[in-house]
Structure 1
Amino acid sequence: MARTTLNPQAVDKQWTLTISRTFDAPIQLVWDAWTCREHLTRWFCPKDFSVLSFESDLREGGQWRSVMRGPDGSEYIHFGTFREIMSPHRLVLTHAWEQNHQEPTAETVITVTLVENGGRTTMSFEQIGLATEASRDSHGGGWGEAFDNLAAHVKVDGDDAQRILVINRVFHAPRERGVEGVTRKPSNWSSGTDRAGSLRVSNSMSSAPAVNGVTS
């Protein structure tokens, strides 16, 4: 479960949101989920929302921008700049709304810190500079639902990524003929027949753990 810490008082009329969440996934997969567009389009929104697009230039000083659609069809656009990228432990970025009729205009700073322990990853999330207490509470609800999406996403991706298929081929032919066989036009061997010009093969299949998870 996410733990949301709501500051009892504003500091300089700004509010801070902090959330802690532990995921059943390795740190690299959680980092990829925060930094790869293919992952972000699958979780970076509240419940019942969908991510229509996510664009990013993942470098310090690079920009990001995302469009999401709510259940009533309204579109919301948020964007920002990457300030710090320390793979796979720390990500700092700015956040602002380009289009959101429910939130005041304010640039905030988000810091995501990841720590792995025993194959699980604890994420510390902090967003500073929120304009009002209501905005802090609203963002807390939205991020909480997004992190529910993230938890489900990395669990599914982690399960799928734990094992990859390895296919071994034993060719009963000299090395030179084997190279020629797999680089020439495949009309005589791709069908699996034993016609002239083909190679006889014995197939074995095994599975092995994937390395560093997977990036979809």
Structure 2
Amino acid sequence: MNRSLPQFPGGTSVSDLRVYDFASADGCPGGTPHLHTASAEAYVVVGGRGEVHTVSAAGEARDPLEAGSLLWFTPGTVHRLVNHGGLHLAVVMQNAGLPEAGDAVMTFPERVLADPEAYRAAAALPDQEDERADAARARRELALEGYDDLLQAVRRDGAAALDRLHRQAAALVRPRIDQWRRIWAENVEAEVEATRRQLDALADGDPGRLGDATVFRGDPQPEPRLWGMCGRLQTWQA
């Protein structure tokens, strides 16, 4: 389901994230480690304290987060949010509609990543709201199991271990690509083309789309917040 705002600037999406604070097996409360296969992501820290742990072509990193911090990363970066107290973020995603359509792949263990049916079952949350908290925790713990395996493999084998995860992620999302192309064309590509036409108009001294100037206002989606991979999400509707 596409939960992004229509015509948000540049074909991006924005959400308000309160990072999970329930304890994890390794003692770091926070979100589910995952990567995005097609979209960059940015964090603007609104309040609280925490860290984001990443694994990328540059290796492992841990970046502290506090109010005013800004951090972003490209597709393929494995990331995990850790909440040290009240961590609250504004999240900006590239390619609005693709993250909502399954652009993310969680770092489940090898046995799950290698089996598309097992992956879908592990990633899904129940329809019943009162069952979602426990399911979100269980999903995160399973991803942390695979994340620990990944860290050990990266420390042992270097970039080859991350390349294996990337290939598994690509195989998992491959059946969705035709749908993603349609979403991207209707949103991101359409925004790019609109800017191209506007630049051409301005070059000719024509105001172009300026006469269609419009203000959009977003209202928060009704509670409860969504159960995301990293925390409780608030989105908006136009």
The interval holding the TM-score normalised by the smaller chain is: under 0.3
For normalisation by structure 2, the TM-score amounts to: 0.24
Higher relative contact order (CA 8 A, sep 6+): 2
For normalisation by structure 1, the TM-score amounts to: 0.25
Between Structure 1 and Structure 2, the one with more strand by share is 1
